[in-house]
Amino acid sequence: NAGVMQNPRHLVRRRGQEARLRCSPMKGHSHVYWYRQLPEEGLKFMVYLQKENIIDESGMPKERFSAEFPKEGPSILRIQQVVRGDSAAYFCASSPPSLDGNYGYTFGSGTRLTVV
Amino acid sequence: KQEVTQIPAALSVPEGENLVLNCSFTDSAIYNLQWFRQDPGKGLTSLLLIQSSQREQTSGRLNASLDKSSGRSTLYIAASQPGDSATYLCASDTGRRALTFGSGTRLQVQP
C-alpha cells in the first residue's frame, strides 16, 4: 500500500500563474481532505471531498481556489492567479468511508508551493 | 468553534527522560483526538488515535490519554531518544471530518 501520494513535492509558480496539486488517496479510501500549512503556522482545514462531491469547503478561500475529486483519477486542488501569500505546504489526507473504529486519517508528504 | 492549544511550544530534554506533551481543546463534544508527528519539511505521521469513548491508547513507548470533561489530552513519551526529535501535533475531530490542529510542540532530545 503506497499510502497517500501527492505530487509534485515542490512547485514554483510566478505570480498570476495557476497551480495544480494532485492527491491520490490510499487504496480503499474514498474520502479526501486538503489542509494548508502557512509558514510558522498550524495546519488549517480547507476542504473535504468524496468522489464527485464536495462535502465541506468551509475552509477554502472564496476566490481563486477550487477542488475536485473526479470519479476516475486523483483529487486536484487548483489555485488560479497565485499570489505570494499562497506560498505554503499543502497536505492531503484520506480516510475510509466509515466513522467507526480506528479509522484515523492518513496524510501525504505534502506539496510545497512557492510563489515568486 | 473548536480551538486546540498545545503547551509547551518547544521542549529540549536529555536523552532517556520521560516527558509529557499537553493538548487542550475548547469543545468537549469531540468524536476523536489524534496525535501526529511531523519531521522538518515532511508530512504527518499518525501516532495514536483515541476515540471519544476511550481513555487512553498505547503504542510502544507512547501513551496518549483523553479527558473529555476537562478538555485535555496528554502524550507521554517514555525513555526519550534523539530520534524522537520532531514536532508533535494533536488534532480533534468533532465528527465533521474537519480536523482542528494545535500549533504543535517542537521536541529536541539531546544525545
Instruction: Please tell me the predicted confidence (pLDDT) of residue B97.
Output: 85
Contact A33 B95 (CB under 8 A): no
Contact B99 A33 (CB under 8 A): yes
Alpha-carbon gap: B78 to the closest alpha carbon of chain A (Å): 23
Query: Which pLDDT tens digit goes with each residue over B15-49?
Result: 999 999 999 999 888 888 999 999 988 889 999 99
Alpha-carbon gap: B49 to the closest alpha carbon of chain A (Å): 7
What is the average per-residue pLDDT within A72-101? 91
Helix/strand/coil (H/E/C) assignment for every residue in A15-77: CCCCEEEEEECCCCCCEEEEEEECCCCCEEEEEEEECCEEEECCCCCCCCEEEECCCCCCEEE
Instruction: Please tell me the predicted confidence (pLDDT) of residue A1.
Output: 55
Query: Which pLDDT tens digit goes with each residue over A33-82?
Result: 999 998 878 899 999 999 999 999 999 999 999 999 999 999 999 999 99
Instruction: Please tell me the predicted confidence (pLDDT) of residue A98.
Output: 73
What is the average per-residue pLDDT within B53-62? 94
Three-state DSSP class for residue A12 = strand
Question: Confidence class of residue A102 from pLDDT cuts 50, 70 and 90?
Answer: low
Contact A69/A49 with Cβ under 8 angstroms? yes
Sequence-distant (≥ 6) Cβ neighbours of residue A100 within 8 angstroms: none
Alpha-carbon gap: A42 to the closest alpha carbon of chain B (Å): 5
Q: Which of residues 87-106 of A touch B (CB under 8 A)?
A: 91, 93, 95, 99, 102, 104-106
The position carrying cell 505534502 is A110
Q: Inform me whether the pLDDT recorded for B1 exceeds 90.
A: no
The per-residue pLDDT of chain B, averaged, comes to 94
